[in-house]
Amino acid sequence: MTNNANLYTLFQRHFPTDRRQPFLIHDRGETSFAEVETLSGRYGAVLRDMGVQKGDRVIVQVKKSPEAVLLYLACLRIGAIFIPLNTAYTLPEVQYFVTDATPKAIVCDPAERDAFTTTFDAGILTLDDQGGGSLPGRAQGVGAGGEVVVSDADDLAAILYTSGTTGRSKGAMLTNVNLASNAQMLHRYWAWQKGDVLLHALPIFHVHGLFIALHCALLNGSTVLFHNRFDPAAVIRDLPRATVMMGVPTFYTRLLDAPDFTAQTCDQMRLFISGSAPLLADTFAAFETRTGHKILERYGMTEAGMITSNPYAGARIAGTVGFALPGVQARVADATGTELPRGKVGVLEITGPNVFAGYWQMPEKTAEEFRADGYFITGDLATMADDGRITIVGRAKDLVISGGFNVYPKEVEDCIDAMPSVKESAVIGLPHPDFGEGVAAVVVAQSAVTEADVLAHLAGRLAKFKQPKKVFIVPELPRNTMGKVQKKALRETYSKAFQGHQ
Ligand code: MCA
Ligand code: AMP
């Protein structure tokens, strides 16, 4: 099947000859490459038995587990479009995605089964983090279901939702070739080697943990030390057996906070990679002093996977995100899309085989974010040096990144403004020692309202990571002469609000 562009076949070609080799080593034992083959085939057969066909959507909101990885691979095998959701999302948040994506099947935690069954018109399967639930249960009763559906390069493999500046989430459509080209290029660029072992502690509902980390390991036929969550003590215990780790900056600051994290812990390590949010130069320097390793910072986004990276062999410079990856063209442009001279600040625009196929059922929104010549407007402010090195200097989009999770202020503001006791609000990101940025809300009261009232209103409506960690009640919001709220002034006023917080 050499013409099959199905991403699973690409991985399959790189599985080790001896399929008894472990792919995932986890808290319940090991999952070998042979089991990846059989179990993903069986999970796929269960989905097919429910009527899931090529092009159908499957929404998955489950805790991280080896079986959740197999479920992703099962969807690839049968050509279903995989839609992972953050486990922190509340039922009303999930409802939006279900209405938008109209999935044929939903896989959720057993604890959510009753709520999902009564709320959603789709086949419901369950999966918990101990390998239990109706999906693995039914998989025991089906045949091996070995074949892999033939896919075109442009067929969709996944939809990942990213919140929008207008408050409405958009589903970024990612094709087989988007994911394959990015994975193959990163595998080469980061010099993956025989014997590499990946320590994986990221969530698997976002591009970083699901695609960037796992795809590189799959293309390398590598073993993964698979942690269900980021626990610094567990990471420190396992690092001596690993050679590669990927993380958000919070991983690195939390490791540095642990006195038993030493150069010796990292003896076998070849590469530490950071992304999803800016890595502070202080963290880069402290990490090098402690371990001798220069963290390799790269930059990307859901719509395009990885876009730039510091070099593997060349200079890794703190505060920069390196060069446009091979195959990616990048320019720093003004508001009309005209390229600016080197060194000037503008919006980063990109094109390449990794750039997504548009937003699910939002052609107008898609058109707004592409230039006529095909460049995608990232919404990140950047400079490009004479040698092409890129530095992200800020965001043109109103976005807060907290511990690597994106929070769109508009969504939180809409939710707060819906309170009858609130006149208006402004949600901002403030420097936070643990999460990089922490969410805060500045609220103008309509009638008596307290911080506790606002937080009680948001609980159950918004995922925990989106909820403000501080609420300030003020008589009015600062505005410019055009009447626009001056968030910059608010960020300055409250800049020290999270100092001393962990
Ligand atoms: C947890 N909480 C958070 C966050 N995580 N609040 C704000 N921001 C967060 N990121 C809440 C919890 O609900 C809890 O609330 C309290 O904060 C403290 O939780 P803690 O135990 O410290 O959290 P944790 O479970 O240790 O999680 C922190 C974490 C996690 C390990 C940094 O957030 C994480 O894994 N982040 C990685 C995100 C990621 O993979 N991003 C990639 C996006 P309470 O105690 O009140 O219940 S992909 C992407 O961006 C692009 C493509 C790219 O470039 O990679
Ligand atoms: P997401 O929409 O979750 O994919 O997040 C993508 C956004 O994360 C980008 O548009 C950037 O704003 C930010 N980002 C990712 N990596 C970096 C980095 N290394 N430095 C600064 N910002 C980053």
Work out the average pLDDT over 156-169. Answer: 84
Residue 420 clears pLDDT 70, i.e. is over it: yes
* Residue keyed to tokens 């503001």: 413
Atom of ligand 1 nearest to the CA of 88: 13
Question: What's the mean per-residue pLDDT of the chain?
Answer: 96
Answer yes or no: are the C-beta atoms of 267 and 250 closer than 8 Å.
Answer: no
b/e 24-55 (16+ beta carbons within 10 angstroms → b): bbbeeeebbbebbbbbbbbbbbbbbebebeee
Residue 103 clears pLDDT 50, i.e. is over it: yes
- pTM here? 0.96
Pocket test for ligand 2, best of 163, 206, 295, 301 (most atoms within 8 A of CB): 301
Answer yes or no: are the C-beta atoms of 393 and 321 closer than 8 Å.
Answer: no
| 437-491 tens-digit pLDDT | 999 999 999 999 999 999 999 999 999 999 999 999 999 999 998 889 999 999 9
- Using alpha carbons, list the distances in angstroms from residue 397 to 2, 408, 409: 42, 9, 10
Report the alpha-carbon distance of residue 179 to residue 353 in Å, rounded: 9
Residue 56 clears pLDDT 50, i.e. is over it: yes
The CA 403 to ligand 1 mean position distance, Å, reads 5
The CA 272 to ligand 1 mean position distance, Å, reads 19
Write the residue with the smallest CA distance to atom 29 of ligand 1. Answer: 403
Strand, helix or coil for residue 417: helix
Residue 77 clears pLDDT 50, i.e. is over it: yes
**pLDDT at residue number 143:** 78
**pLDDT at residue number 166:** 65
* Beta bridge partner(s), residue 83: 59
Residue 164 clears pLDDT 80, i.e. is over it: no
**pLDDT at residue number 405:** 95
Report the alpha-carbon distance of residue 15 to residue 17 in Å, rounded: 7
Pocket test for ligand 2, best of 347, 401, 437 (most atoms within 8 A of CB): 401
| Edge-to-edge strand list for the sheet holding 244-247 | 29-32, 22-26, 223-226, 197-200, 244-247, 271-274, 296-301, 305-309, 323-324
Answer yes or no: are the C-beta atoms of 136 and 67 closer than 8 Å.
Answer: yes
Ligand 2 binding pocket, CB closer than 6 Å = 162, 207, 275-278, 297, 299-302, 321, 378, 380, 392, 395, 401, 406
Structure tokens at 227: 């942690």
The CA 465 to ligand 1 mean position distance, Å, reads 7
pLDDT above 90 covers what percent of the chain? 95
Work out the average pLDDT over 28-36. Answer: 98
- Using alpha carbons, list the distances in angstroms from residue 117 to 95, 111, 205, 460, 463: 12, 11, 22, 19, 21
Pocket test for ligand 2, best of 320, 392, 397, 408 (most atoms within 8 A of CB): 392
Domain ranges within the chain, ordered by starting residue: 400-493
Residue 165 clears pLDDT 70, i.e. is over it: no
Report the alpha-carbon distance of residue 278 to residue 266 in Å, rounded: 23
Pocket test for ligand 2, best of 276, 317, 377, 383 (most atoms within 8 A of CB): 276
Single-letter amino acid code for the residue at 357: A
Strand, helix or coil for residue 412: helix
| 377-412 tens-digit pLDDT | 999 999 999 999 999 999 998 899 999 999 999 999
Atom of ligand 2 nearest to the CA of 405: 3
Task: Say which CATH architecture domain 400-493 belongs to.
Answer: 2-Layer Sandwich (3.30)
Work out the average pLDDT over 210-224. Answer: 98
Place 147 in a pLDDT band, splitting at 50, 70 and 90. confident
Helix (DSSP H) and strand (DSSP E) numbers for the chain: 16, 24
Give Cβ neighbours of residue 91 (< 8 Å, ≥ 6 apart): 112, 115, 119
**pLDDT at residue number 163:** 76
The CA 287 to ligand 1 mean position distance, Å, reads 21
Residue 168 clears pLDDT 90, i.e. is over it: no
Answer yes or no: are the C-beta atoms of 322 and 309 closer than 8 Å.
Answer: yes
Residue 205 clears pLDDT 60, i.e. is over it: yes
The CA 405 to ligand 2 mean position distance, Å, reads 9
* Residue keyed to tokens 């839609």: 83
- Using alpha carbons, list the distances in angstroms from residue 368 to 48, 323, 373: 37, 26, 13
Strand, helix or coil for residue 199: strand
Ligand 1 binding pocket, CB closer than 6 Å = 202-203, 206-209, 229-230, 248, 250, 275-276, 300-302, 402-405, 435, 464-465
Place 1 in a pLDDT band, splitting at 50, 70 and 90. very low
Strand pairing class (323-324; 305-309): antiparallel
Residue 127 clears pLDDT 90, i.e. is over it: yes
